[in-house]
Amino acid sequence: MADYYDRYKQFIINGKNKPVPFIRIKSKPSDKKVIYKVGQSRLDKISQEYYGTPYFGWLILQANPDVGGLEWDINDGRVLTVPYPLVASLQQYKQSVDDYYFYYGKSDEDLKDPNGTTSY
């Protein structure tokens, strides 16, 4: 079973919570497909089935941006992509976040420590 991955810790800069950017998980040949059934399916259950832990429903949503950001907006019978395997998908997510910061940067205001000095 995979340990819990705290995807929010990389968005806490000098004790300040920063907005989480949208990161799409690009599909891979190893990804799985599942048919979502309203009233039966839940992202935590799908995560448990494919990853052995219920904590990665958010990752499934990242791979299916056209369904929106809320599970209850998923239409009945919708085919969802399940990023697979988990570790490779988490690495892809982490790299995408790193790329986001590389391209868009972090403002100097975000990088100031409590003493007001910029730490790079």
The DSSP 8-state label assigned to residue 57 in this structure reads: H
Measured distance CA(91)–CA(5) in Å, rounded: 11
The pTM is what?
A: 0.81
In this predicted structure, the answer to whether residue 19 has a pLDDT above a threshold of 90 is no
pLDDT of residue 120: 40
Q: Which helix (H) or strand (E) holds 44?
A: helix 43-51
Percentage of the chain surpassing pLDDT 70? 86
